[in-house]
Structure 1
Amino acid sequence: MRTVGVEEEILLVDPETGDPRPLSAAIVARAALDNADGRDVFEKELHEQMLEYATAPQSDMDALGREIVRCRKEAARHAGEIGCAVAALATSPLPVRPSVGAHQRYQWMDEQYGIATREQLVLGCHVHVAVDSDEEGVAVIDRMRPWLSVISALSCNSPFWQGTDTGYASYRSRVWQRWPSAGPTEVFGSPERYREVVASMVDTGVILDEGMVYFDARLSRNYPTVEIRVSDICLHADTPVLIATLARGLVETAAREWRAGVPPAAHGVSVLRLAAWQAARAGLDDTLLHPVTMRSTPAPVVVRALLDHVADALEETGDLETARARVAHLLARGNGARTQRELLRRTGSLREVVTECVRRTQE
């Protein structure tokens, strides 16, 4: 059974005002002192108002869910010790001037990309799924491309930007597209072609190194995994478990198609960008582009098509019925974008939205 790991980037906020606070370095330092098992769970990120943590790889989805909850609670505990709070929000609802971290890499990015770097206070969720080889990994990336916009729609959790409703369910994903290497990819066909494309991108000097190849799905530099990078951090801790479950199903389904000689879908990058844009705009509350037909289709129909697509793989791992129940629950409750907007309608205050999201983050 393929293992799965999740990385989440979480927002650091003032518990009273909801304003983002640049305290990641202090939290990472406290966590290092308290690190009993010797594993570095927490890391600084591009901006000092964000904190990253990673789960251990898991083969059981319930265990993965417990890991996510544990990481969130630990982040909240360390933050609370220095008068801070954590919120699983993919953008700050309140106005903010992000602080770029002092790391040499981040300073290079600030100089290279200017305002695009300084506006990148966006927080995502990355899913790593184990693969047997680079050959299998590239074959998987080629075949899962049309379905990644559906994963994005499930995760949407960033409707507000600088105190304003953007009209998007995931504005994070639109800000993320400002990086020159971000977005969907062509069909590579082989690991050799994948490495050739990556090397040619690095050789331009526009990006610093392979770590800045921000494909929607890529081969991990450090682990034998495919890394899926399209999701917002999700408000409720059960949603990343569902996304990880579906991601593992997509990887396994794509690998089986590859072994059976099924070619990748022929959708070009231009159409895949449209599908990603529509997912960011609508989330689960309007239409999405169906990954097979690339025609506008009600979001619940498209989400159920994804479930059908990976059903055999999920049945084999024992995850199918749980995934169906979680999908039904998510469609009824809505993603984080819907929740944030409902909170604003009820309270009339973005500060109250942040306060309630802090509470829900730790549920």
Structure 2
Amino acid sequence: MARTVGVEEELLLVDARSGEPRSLSAAVLALAQARADGDSAFEPELHRQQLEFATEPRTDMRELAQEILRWRAEAAASAAGAGADVVALATAPLAVSPSIGTGERYRWLAERFGLTVQEQLTCGCHVHVSVESDDEGVAVVDRLRPWLPVVLALSANSPFWQGRDTAYGSYRSRVWGRWPMAGPVEVFGSPERYHAQVRALVDTGVLRDRGMVYFDARLSHRYPTVEVRVADVCLDPADAVLLATLVRALVETASRDWRAGNPPDPVGVGVLRLAAWQAGASGLEGPLLHPATMRPEPAPAVLRALLAHVRDALEGSGDLAAAEDGIRRVLERGTGARTQRDALARTGSLHAVVAECVSRTRG
């Protein structure tokens, strides 16, 4: 049976007329709770200009797609009640002064990390894939490492920051990398070494708890899953489903390699950081570092390599045709970063960019 997969998406709250980010999460969450009659999928986030939802674990990607569309629509309806819109952008194109959410944990973060927290108004997409045990989970985390920059490139949706073009496809990934515990990690080799590393990080006192261990891929501290955390939130909901499809296939492929006795790639953390930087800079508009060689190749060639790497897993879950079609479409129309830049080129207005992206958020 196929592994379950769940998606967490963070969305920006923006003024319905100006498109500027608005600190309305408390009001929108209350409206969402009332609309859901006590069964809401929404949660507050670090900043009051955003909110998050999480899908149920799914095995059928069509059901996952329907749920993502449902919660995006519910978010939009609740936001409308507060005079706002929601938009699936990984950074705010317009200038913003982010406001930290309420609660003791957020206050602690603000005091501990200062400007790093203030500037973390970023929206990501986290994909959870089920694993049977910590042994399997750590084996998967070890073997995912070279492929995660490709996942980032596919999701690139944050070219603008504080009213300026950053020259990156995913500037969110650069902002997120300011956290001292974020990014790629070494090969662990066993659950014992993984958990020892997490304990050592928390014991430094720099982190509040293990929930702040922001590895690019980690064992979830809440669910029996591997959680892949590298992606921007995707503008097109179909791209979120594509990401979930490919991440599940990567997890399944990694597990099969582990069971077959194939060792993980020993590529170092320094090279992985460069691969992630290249993916964040280029998105799909320039070269990526090929996971097998860590040499630059055109993005379409690297995506073909990704499909070849996970083909057996995609065939096993019945997702091969959908994945091939999804990659073809994203290469043709581009990621959210291209959509935003094209909209700015047409209109000359970042306000118009946000307005267009609001409509695209719901597909």
**Band of TM-score, shorter chain:** over 0.9
- Cα displacement (A) at 1:33: 2.1
Deviation digits for residues 310-337 of structure 1 (CA, Å, limit 9, x no counterpart): 0000001100011001100000010000
Structure 1: distance between partners of 2:31 and 2:94: 27
Cα deviation, residue 220, structure 1: 0.5
Alpha-carbon shift at residue 82 of structure 1 (Å): 1.2
Separation (CA, whole Å) in 2 of partners of 1:241 and 1:67 = 10
Cα RMSD between the aligned structures? 0.7
Distance in 2, matches of 1:260 and 1:238, equals 33
What are the equivalent positions in structure 2 for 1:156-235 lying under 5 Å apart? Answer: 156-235=156-235
Could you tell me how far 1:89 is from its partner in structure 2? 0.3
Distance in 1 (CA, whole Å) between partners of 2:31 and 2:340 is 31
Secondary structure at the counterpart of residue 51 of structure 1: strand
- Give the match for residue 242 of structure 1: 242
Q: Deviations over 1:233-273 (max 9, x none)?
A: 00000001000000000000000000000000010000000
Report the counterpart of residue 334 of structure 2 in structure 1. 334
The separation in 2 between residues aligned to 1:311 and 1:62, in whole angstroms, is 19
Structure 2 stretches of 5 or more lacking a match? none
Q: Does 2:261 correspond to 1:264?
A: no
User: Which residue of the partner structure matches residue 77 of structure 1?
Assistant: 77
Give the percent of matched residue pairs that are identical in Structure 1 and Structure 2.
62
In 2, Cα distance between equivalents of 1:304 and 1:243: 15
What CA deviation, in whole Å up to 9, does each residue of 1:186-208 have, x standing for no partner? 00001110000000000001010
Between the aligned partners of 1:275 and 1:148, the Cα distance in structure 2 is 9
Corresponding position of 1:252: 252
Quote the residue 1:40 is aligned against: 40
Q: Which amino acid aligns with 2:150?
A: V
Render the CA deviation track for 1:292-312: whole Å, top value 9, x for unaligned.
000000001001100110000
Give the deviation of 1:39 after TM superposition: 3.4
Letter in 1 for 2:269: V
Size of the alignment, in residue pairs? 362
2: distance between equivalents of 1:333 and 1:259? 38
Offset of residue 40 of structure 1: 3.5
Alignment TM-score, normalising by the size of structure 2 = 0.99
Report the Cα distance in structure 1 between the residues aligned to 2:120 and 2:6, rounded to whole angstroms.
24
Task: Tell me the equivalent position of 1:9.
Answer: 10
CA positional deviation for 1:27: 1.1
Paired with 2:36 and 2:362, the residues of 1 have a C-alpha distance of: 20
Q: Give unmatched runs, 5+ long, in structure 1.
A: none
Tell me the distance in 2 between the aligned counterparts of 1:167 and 1:70: 33
What is the aligned partner in structure 1 of residue 57 from structure 2? 57
What is the CA deviation profile of residues 125-163 of structure 1, one whole-angstrom value per residue up to 9, with x for unaligned ones?
000000000110000000010000000000000000000
Q: Which residue identity lines up with residue 5 of structure 2 in the other structure?
A: V
- Read off the aligned partner of 1:21 and give its amino acid letter: R
Query: For 1:306, what is the secondary structure of its paired residue?
Result: helix
